[in-house]
Amino acid sequence: MFFSIIILLIFPHFVCATKWIEYTDSGFATMTHYTLPQDYIASCGCTGQSTHFPTAALNQMAFGSSTAYGPSCGRCFRLTLLNTFLSDPPFYPSVTKSIIVKVTDLCPLSTTGWCNATASGPNAGGTYLNFDLAFPSSSIPDNFFPSNVTLYDCTPAQDFGVWNISYQSVSCSSHWSGFKDTAALGSVPDLGDSVCCPANPMGNANDTCPSFSDQSGIPPNTTTSAASSRLGVLTLLGWVTALLIPLMYISPF
Ligand SMILES: *[C@@H]1O[C@H](CO)[C@@H](O)[C@H](O)[C@H]1NC(C)=O
Ligand SMILES: *[C@@H]1O[C@H](CO)[C@@H](O)[C@H](O)[C@H]1NC(C)=O
Ligand SMILES: *[C@@H]1O[C@H](CO)[C@@H](O)[C@H](O)[C@H]1NC(C)=O
Ligand SMILES: *[C@@H]1O[C@H](CO)[C@@H](O)[C@H](O)[C@H]1NC(C)=O
Ligand SMILES: *[C@@H]1O[C@H](CO)[C@@H](O)[C@H](O)[C@H]1NC(C)=O
């Protein structure tokens, strides 16, 4: 008895079920892109109008929840493209391109892939954050991602898929292009407590989302070993689930 109390005092983290990634206000990250249909209501439950402006999904363990909203919902970041590193040779664009996004979605944790960072280890790019940009988007030029047709002998210009970027946390009110459109701010109405999308989260308890998982309990891992051998299918299902869950919340039935 005495012994186990000592153990708990020395290793209090043993009783924690989840450790979210605590990230600094600026640093390096990887950036990918994904298809988010215009007007779609993603995991945070931000208004569909938010998709008319640059948005991104953040990897689950930094997002701060495995389902619905998390503390990163609504936060705005300046993302600056640095280089590609999967291409041969790596590509260092001659122009510096940045974009300011609002986090509206969750990129599910997987064992491999770009959203697999946990508090104990980074993704394959060596970073703890992956911003998955909703792209193409009516708010972002189709030629946003630079390339070099000559260097990579590729027409149309090669989509590198994964970028090394720097990120910087910024205030949405003075930076995000959607801030001037009130319909693009906040969450969809009448969904009880399953949505949370602050217009301008500043990290205070009264303007930052809690973790839906921590509040509602993280579902147990019910994956069977037979199913996990079909990882590609599972990863796809994870995405579909992430996209469908917010829809289920807004379903009137
Ligand atoms: C993520 O996946 C990469 C391989 O794609 C692996 O090298 C890395 O260790 C994984 N990270 C974690 C935290 O599992
Ligand atoms: C990303 O860029 C930083 C700064 O130039 C560099 O230190 C880091 O090695 C780069 N990472 C990758 C995966 O290219
Ligand atoms: C493309 O790459 C070639 C070879 O490295 C270089 O000479 C040229 O300036 C590059 N063009 C652009 C637009 O970056
Ligand atoms: C939220 O909390 C911050 C810091 O505690 C405080 O400055 C601010 O006035 C609060 N906002 C509201 C609307 O209560
Ligand atoms: C869930 O369980 C499966 C099967 O035991 C395992 O392969 C997978 O790594 C587990 N996933 C997590 C996130 O622990």
Instruction: State pLDDT tens for residues 59-116.
Output: 999 999 999 999 999 999 999 999 999 998 999 999 999 999 999 999 999 999 999 9
Gap from CA of 153 to ligand 3 centroid (Å): 11
| Residue 204 in contact with ligand 4 by CB distance below 6 A | yes
Give the integer Cα–Cα distance in Å for 4 and 147: 59
Nearest CA to ligand 5 atom 14: 221
List residues bridging with 140 in a β-sheet: 137
Instruction: With a cut of 70, list the residues of the chain below it in pLDDT.
Output: 1-18, 190-193, 218-221, 223, 225, 227-253
Please state the CATH superfamily assignment of the domain spanning residues 2-249 in this structure.
Answer: RlpA-like domain (2.40.40.10)
Gap from CA of 206 to ligand 2 centroid (Å): 36
| Number of residues in the chain | 253
- pLDDT at position 146: 93
Q: What pLDDT score does 18 carry?
A: 65
Whose CA is closest to 109, among 166, 64, 140?
64
What's the rounded Cα separation, in Å, for the pair 44 and 69? 4
Residue 240: per-residue pLDDT: 36
Residues 6 or more apart whose Cβ sits within 8 Å of residue 178: 49, 50, 52, 53, 54, 102, 139, 172, 184, 185
* Predicted local distance difference test score (pLDDT) of residue 6: 41
**Domain spans in the chain, listed from the N-terminal domain onward:** 2-249
Using CA atoms, how far apart are residues 147 and 93, in angstroms rounded to an integer?
Answer: 7
Burial 72-102 (b: 16+ CB within 10 A, else e): bbbbbbbbbbbebbebeeebeeeeebebbbb
Predicted local confidence at residue 158, as pLDDT = 81
**Cα–Cα distance measured from residue 35 to residue 46, given in angstroms and rounded to the nearest whole number:** 16
- Ligand 4 midpoint to CA 192 (Å): 23
Give me the residues paired with residue 58 across strands. Answer: 106, 131
Pocket of ligand 5 (CB under 6 A): 111, 221, 223, 225, 228
Instruction: Please state whether 209 falls in left (phi above 0), alpha (psi between -120 and 50) or beta.
Output: beta
Cα–Cα distance measured from residue 114 to residue 154, given in angstroms and rounded to the nearest whole number: 24
